Amino acid sequence: MHGPGHSHAPMDEDVLRSREGVRAVVQSLVVLLITAGAQGAVFFWSGSVALLADLIHNVGDALTAVPVGVAFLLHSKRAEKWAGMAVVAAILVSGLIAGYEAISRFISPEPVTHLPAVALAGVLGYVGNRWVSLIRLRAGEKINSPALIADGEHARADAIVSLGVVATAAVVAVGLPVADPIIGLLITVGILRITWQSWALVRA
Ligand SMILES: [Zn+2]
């Protein structure tokens, strides 16, 4: 689900020094937030915890652009560190909420409804992440930034994670509702792993 090198690394500052880099970072942020917002609406509607975990992952990825943006605007390394820690804390808390929700569905199962909408939200997650991956890879190659290219590859991997939500909707539809908390928990483990990696980076 998350290959090696998949981390919520703070954006490279050199990336933000170029107009092309800033544009790619801002566009990625907007696309991921819109994707997660639409997925959030479907979550409230359907109660799918797999979808909840995926959208939390997408918000987390969107937020990783914030610390360096803050450092860039305030010209402060200290501000970047604090913003980075705040983002890691926010991702950790939301990851724990996703895990808690998934585990409570094992104990007291609740039906997942509106399965076509859940599948569509997964497709949206796929499309959003693929789009972000293209934005980052294109800009990364143009300004020759390994950091941006790595983030582009990260988004490409996350597109596959979103397909897990489509698979969940299909498996629940054929009569195995336990697929929802199982996939929700798997995606949560991925979120917690990248939270840990981000923490290691911010702390350094
Ligand atoms: Zn990710």
From the CA of 182, how far away is ligand 1's center (Å)? 19
pLDDT for 4: 44
Residue 136 tokens, joined: 């980052």
- Ligand 1 mean position, distance from CA 125 (Å): 11
For the record, the structure tokens of 53 come out as 């975990």
| Torsion from C-alpha of 159, 85, 204, 22, nearest 10 degrees | 60
CA distance 9 to 11: 6
How far apart, in whole angstroms, are the C-alpha atoms of residue 162 and residue 156? Answer: 10
pTM of the model: 0.86
pLDDT, residue 20, reads 83
Burial, 169: exposed, middle or buried (Cβ in 10 Å; 0-12, 13-18, 19+)?
Answer: buried
pLDDT in tens, 17-28: 678 888 888 899
> Which of 125, 98, 119 has its CA nearest to residue 186?
98
Phi-psi region at 108: left, alpha or beta (left = phi > 0; alpha = psi -120 to 50): beta
- Centre of ligand 1 to C-alpha 150, Å, is 11
Domain borders along the chain are 13-203
Tokens 């450092």 identify what position? Answer: 71
pLDDT in tens, 115-162: 999 999 999 999 999 999 999 999 989 988 887 888 888 899 899 999
Residue 61 Cα to ligand 1 middle (Å): 5
List residues, by chain if needed, whose CB lies under 5 Å from ion ligand 1: 61, 158
* CB-CB contact of 86 with 199 (8 Å): no
| Whether domain 13-203 has CATH 2.40.50 | no
CA 154, 36, 82 angle in degrees (round to 5)? 70
Cα 181 to ligand 1 centre (Å): 19
6 alpha carbon – ligand 1 mean position (Å): 7
